[in-house]
Structure 1
């Protein structure tokens, strides 16, 4: 079967699963459809690109399953004209989808290999409004102004209250928090005044954030 047909069938199956969860945002699903995941997964995993399974990528990292990736983007509620910060570029897939929804995206990763690979894929898709940078994003990106939305895919061990300064009033961030029992819970933090309102979402498979840029890779 041709790869384009596999991609289309995989995306159609993904849409059915998402609609069963109540996710039918046309703008989001269109952005996902325009960002073929087969471009972002290792070549031998092409048939699994739109599956719900976790896919290993370089530097010991992984791509979350397509279902979880879209579920997070749905919860982020990105609107046209917004600035978005993503901590954890990985393959570049979520950054690419965000680039189709927002005005500007800054995405950072600690691994040079992942940053270079993601940049190449974004260039191939012609997404000029997504900036990829190698950086230690554990404290966010101070000095880059404020953002309307922040997405983090590495887990914090305590509430990241310092991020409030990097969000506009009414802005929100989605990030995982490691709980005392060892589970990892995704939460949405919405800035109200100088504080966060917290909403717990669902368990996720993310690992704790690691400080500093990687010395190798």
Structure 2
């Protein structure tokens, strides 16, 4: 992909950080990030730091997670080509766009109409046709649309979201932050085994708590 020079430099620095953390970075994941123009999901003032590890503001008082965290989460999801993925928290749409290159179908929900509409426009402009975006309350998943093979939440639950077990296919994976509204949360990877979860904690994060209901105005 033809990136501007400073964008290529930012992307190269991002790759170095990933490799510096040890462990192999899947080639398909790197290709998906490289093929998804990150700048197009950010306001112009943040283009020069698009590939940074810090969170950057987007509309509706929300933020896009740092590129490193996004890569770690998507890698841990271990998405396979035929997978159906539920994303709770569309935000800018960037992570759904990356995952669209790895999965068969993505359903992404956000409580903000503005974010859902902007993401939809970005997908259309990029010719991404396997992502469905909805303004919806994702705090309980999407019970009537499962099962999903992978579920990822970009907002924190105060307790283990056991209700998502029913929305997962056998062997499916949920990645979600679990913990208090204030302070750090544990990023948990939950794999469905029979009628229970196997849990593996893969890091700590500070993300906003999941909010119930959809936003009335924005």
TM-score (norm 2): 0.96
Shift of 1:182: 4.0
Alpha carbon RMSD of aligned pairs, Å? 1.5
Flag the 1:181–1:108 CA change in 2: closer, same or farther, 3 A: closer
What's the counterpart of residue 87 of structure 2?
86
**1:142 offset after TM fit, Å?**
1.1
SS at match of 1:108: strand
**Matched residue pairs, number?**
216
- 1:111 maps to 112
Q: Secondary structure at the match of 1:170?
A: strand
Given that 2:139 and 2:212 are in contact with CA atoms closer than 8 Å, whether structure 1 keeps it comes out as yes
1:80 alignment partner, SS class: coil
Match of 1:10 in 2: 10
Unaligned 5+ segments in structure 1 are none
Q: Does 1:60 align with 2:61?
A: yes
Gaps of 5+ in 2: none
- The residue aligned with 1:196 is 197
Judge which range, 14-23 or 48-57, deviates more. 14-23
CA distance in 2 between partners of 1:146 and 1:115 (Å): 22
- How far apart are 1:23 and its partner, in Å? 4.3
CA distance in structure 2 between the partners assigned to 1:144 and 1:63 by the alignment: 26
**Match status 1:39 vs 2:40:** yes
Q: Distance in 2 between matches of 1:179 and 1:109?
A: 21
Q: How does 1:100-179 map to 2 (within 5 A)?
A: 100-179=101-180
Residues 181 and 208 of structure 2 are in contact (CA less than 8 Å); yes or no, is this contact kept in structure 1? no
Map Cα deviations across residues 55-91 of structure 1 (whole Å, 9 max, x no partner). 0101010001111111111111101011000000000
Secondary structure of 1:143 counterpart: helix
Per-residue displacement from partner, 1:152-195 (whole Å, max 9, x unpaired)? 01100111101001000110110000159842110000001111
Q: In 1, distance between residues paired with 2:214 and 2:63?
A: 17
Aligned to 1:186, what secondary structure does the other structure show?
strand
CA drift at 1:9? 1.3
Q: Give 1:7 shift.
A: 1.5
- Residue 29 of structure 2 corresponds to residue 28 of structure 1: yes
Q: Contact 2:96 / 2:131 at 8 angstroms: preserved in 1?
A: yes
Distance 1:81 1:181, change over 3 A: same
With the length of structure 1 as denominator, give the TM-score of the two structures: 0.96
